[in-house]
Structure 1
Amino acid sequence: MELNDKNLNQLLKSISFIFHPVLMPLLGVVFYFSKSPRFIPMEIIRAKIISLSILTIFLPILLYYLLKNIGQVQSFYLNSTKERILPLFINGCISVLIINRVLPPTEIIELYYFFVGILISTLACFILALLNFKASIHMIAVCGVTMFYIALSIHFSININGTLALMFILIGAIATSRLHLKAHTPIELLIGAFIGLLPQLILVNYWL
């Protein structure tokens, strides 16, 4: 039984690590390019993916190690509200850079509003951190991306039931992981899901 518990802990830790929030925006972008019926030159797709990979994954990771070295954060999961404030502010600035330089509304409107939604969710999480409430960033990210997938399936009239089923399973797995690891309470998970989903749902009105 002890071995099984150890394996379960490793599995749930792996879920939290593999599906870390920094990966979710890029998953949304790759999904969009793979499903969009519009013709977009491969050079543009490649440039956007490389730019977004740098800004949403590699830059936050580098900044995390910088903040860790100067003692501002202790864990990649930002376990305390105090640790979250500066990284969330930086991620908000990165989102502003993306929607102004990489994905302006004149180019790919769906991805522009996707990142506007990410910015709103980040700001909401930032404000809650200032108020000493730790909403689940994992749930914010995965629920926001799932809502974006649902909107794209309606927008492009495509059947992605299999993908959506996997996303709902992933939401359940991430929630179970965060609860089992005692990283969050149920209310923190619910608030996180709400913060991730609602901005994407509201912004659908501007591009769907």
Structure 2
Amino acid sequence: MIDRILKSISYIFHPLLMPLLGVAFYFIKTPRFIPNEIIQAKLISLFILTIVLPILLYFLLKTLGKVKSIHLESTKERVFPLILNCIVILLVLQRIITPNQIIELYFFFVGILISTLACLILAIFKFKASIHMIAVSGLFMFFIALSIHFNININDELALMSIITGAVATSRLHLNAHTYKELIIGFIIGMFPQLILVNYWL
């Protein structure tokens, strides 16, 4: 039973979902007026670019023999998916979330791009940082920054994010997907770009 729960956590809080969750959370909490048509257009576009497209690209890479499974167990398997993910994020920054529209989300995705590039560089040098921890810690830091930026009380959400972060780390350890070192490095890679970029929009 515990095995199933911990395995499910890795899928429920998959890295592909974190950017869209961050954007949805922003639209829910922002005190600014943003027309529903714009919100829906942004969310649908991001769903297609950050979730549907990466899944399709994964199957293409699998067909070409570049990856063996969705878990990307080796550092070699990670290189092409991470490169493609960087390209996807650049498309998001150029076409969907531009700096003259929603500055907070723009730097959120810049942080995601920096984290992805850092993970790619480590993969090239044969180090497998936890992509799950990169994604969840980056989202956690973005939530904290938004609470300060908008001066809103989201203690419940932050407490939940703390639990989720711990659950994801526990899940990855239990599944022998990562070592403690890989989880800690992943946490740092995800959080620090978001923390540093706060200076540009907070």
TM-score, normalised with respect to structure 1? 0.96
1:92 aligns with 2:86: yes
1:112 alignment counterpart: 106
2:4 alignment counterpart: 10
RMSD of aligned alpha carbons: 0.6
Structure 2, gaps ≥5 residues long: none
2:132 alignment counterpart: 138
1:83 alignment counterpart: 77
Rounded to whole Å, the distance in 2 between the matches of 1:75 and 1:160 is 37
1:4 alignment counterpart: none
Rounded to whole Å, the distance in 2 between the matches of 1:147 and 1:75 is 30
* Count of residues in correspondence between the two structures: 202
| Matched letter for residue 83 of structure 1 | E
Instruction: Decide which of 14, 25, 28 is 2:22's aligned counterpart.
Output: 28
Instruction: Decide which of 54, 64, 70 is 1:70's aligned counterpart.
Output: 64
2:39 alignment counterpart: 45
1:169 aligns with 2:163: yes
Rounded to whole Å, the distance in 2 between the matches of 1:199 and 1:90 is 20
| Matched letter for residue 43 of structure 1 | E
Report deviation, 1:70.
Answer: 1.6
| Matched letter for residue 77 of structure 2 | E
| Matched letter for residue 143 of structure 1 | S
Report deviation, 1:112.
Answer: 0.2
1:18-67 Cα shifts (integer Å, max 9, x gaps): 11100000000000000000000111000000000001100001111111
1:202 alignment counterpart: 196
TM-score, normalised with respect to structure 2? 0.99
Rounded to whole Å, the distance in 2 between the matches of 1:115 and 1:46 is 18
Report deviation, 1:83.
Answer: 0.6
Rounded to whole Å, the distance in 1 between the matches of 2:20 and 2:10 is 17
Which segment is superposed worse, 10-19 or 30-39?
Answer: 10-19
Which segment is superposed worse, 95-104 or 123-132?
Answer: 95-104
1:59 alignment counterpart: 53
1:102-159 Cα shifts (integer Å, max 9, x gaps): 1110000000000000000000000000000000000000000000000000000000
Report deviation, 1:10.
Answer: 1.2
- Percentage of pairs with the same residue: 68
Report deviation, 1:74.
Answer: 1.4
Instruction: Decide which of 147, 156, 165 is 1:153's aligned counterpart.
Output: 147
2:96 alignment counterpart: 102
